[in-house]
């Protein structure tokens, strides 16, 4: 097939994937830049993962995003793993290279940092401590990025203490672990607070971490984006904090993947946000 007739395919593999907003976003970008291609959600069971990844390039796929529960497993199947994916211990982007090699990357940390750079431009990473709530997959990407961009002290608290301790042993002495019942105290003097738990998300338990120690000069970022204005962000905005919602991270993590697959760097702007909000 010559290049003019080529239709490039990409998608997201996970279980379930029906809730994913990535198809809306990537298909919007494909249309906007006049690229002949489609992005589709692909339900893949654990036992079928290796077969699916072996077959997709033969069907015209240039790559896929990876979501729960396959983010860690795909690292074992990849021929090349970027340093940031190895550090985080998970991949969210696969590239099917023309030489047949499978390349695994993780763009969540990039999305997290770029969202802050764009929406809290006055936050200086080296200016003081960051407090992170949670120690799941998203928190791992957040902590790896905070270490990389020079945050001097990263305070972590998680309901299951062992997962926070594991982050400390992996990411080193800049990480301080607080008991979950003391999580509110982490916020005293923090320049940035990040909610990387699912608390406050629609259908999940309410966000109940005490916020009395939060000060108006703290930037507050919630990774939860359903709802967009979470109770944490509403409280922080009333206090006078700069607040950053989770939708931007979702947008910015998608841009480098799209560029790798379709050789075009997409814009992230207000229109893109509107597309994602449906």
Which residues bind to ligand NAP, rule: CB under 6 A?
108, 111, 134-139, 158-160, 163, 196-199, 201, 205, 223-225, 246, 249-250, 253
Residue pointed to by tokens 């966000």? 207
Of 250, 195, 196, nearest to 65 (Cα)? Answer: 250
Question: Catalytic one among 32, 45, 58, 71?
Answer: 71
Of 26, 31, 29, nearest to 12 (Cα)? Answer: 26
Of 32, 42, 34, nearest to 8 (Cα)? Answer: 34
Residue pointed to by tokens 């763009």? 107
Between 119 and 198, name the residue whose CB sits nearer to ligand NAP.
198
Contacts by 263-270, CB closer than 8 A, 24 or more apart? 264/29, 264/33, 264/35, 266/29, 266/32, 266/33, 268/118
DSSP letters spanning 177-207: EE-GGGGGGGGTT-SEEEE-SSTTSTTSPPP
Distance CA 172, CA 183 (A): 20
Between 47 and 162, name the residue whose CB sits nearer to ligand NAP.
162
The separation between CA 104 and the C-alpha centre of its own chain, rounded to angstroms, equals 15
Between 6 and 46, name the residue whose CB sits nearer to ligand NAP.
46
Q: How far is the CB of 164 from ligand NAP (least distance, A)?
A: 8
32 classed as catalytic: no
Residue 24 three-state SS: helix
Between 38 and 159, name the residue whose CB sits nearer to ligand NAP.
159
Q: How far is the CB of 275 from ligand NAP (least distance, A)?
A: 15
Determine phi and psi for 43, rounding to 5 degrees.
-75, 115
What residue is closest to ligand NAP based on CB?
136
Distance CA 185, CA 213 (A): 6
Q: How far is the CB of 29 from ligand NAP (least distance, A)?
A: 16
Between 9 and 106, name the residue whose CB sits nearer to ligand NAP.
106
Catalytic residue IDs? 71
């Amino acid at each position: 097939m010559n290049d003019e007739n080529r239709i490039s395919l990409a998608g997201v593999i996970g279980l379930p994937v029906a809730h994913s907003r990535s198809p809306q976003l990537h298909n919007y970008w494909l249309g906007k830049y006049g690229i002949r291609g489609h992005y589709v959600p692909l339900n893949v069971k654990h036992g079928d993962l290796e077969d699916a990844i072996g077959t997709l390039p033969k069907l015209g796929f240039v790559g896929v995003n990876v979501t729960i529960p396959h983010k860690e497993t795909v690292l074992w199947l990849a021929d090349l793993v970027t340093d940031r994916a190895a550090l985080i211990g998970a991949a969210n982007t696969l590239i099917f290279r023309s030489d047949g090699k499978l390349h695994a990357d993780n763009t969540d940390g990039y999305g997290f940092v770029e969202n802050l750079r764009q929406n809290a431009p006055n936050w200086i990473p080296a200016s003081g401590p960051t407090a992170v709530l949670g120690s799941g997959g998203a928190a791992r990407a957040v902590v790896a990025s905070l270490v990389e961009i020079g945050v001097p002290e990263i305070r972590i608290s998680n309901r299951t203490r062992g997962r926070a301790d594991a982050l400390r042993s992996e990411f080193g002495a800049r990480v301080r672990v607080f008991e979950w019942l003391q999580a509110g105290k982490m916020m005293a003097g923090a320049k940035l607070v990040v909610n990387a738990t699912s608390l406050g998300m629609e259908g999940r338990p309410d966000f109940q971490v005490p916020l009395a120690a939060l000060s108006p000069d703290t930037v507050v970022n919630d990774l939860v984006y359903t709802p967009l204005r979470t109770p944490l962000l509403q409280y922080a905005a009333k206090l006078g904090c700069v607040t950053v919602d989770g939708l931007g991270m979702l947008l910015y993590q998608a841009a480098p993947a799209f560029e790798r697959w379709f050789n075009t760097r997409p814009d992230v702007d207000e229109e893109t946000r509107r597309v994602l909000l449906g």
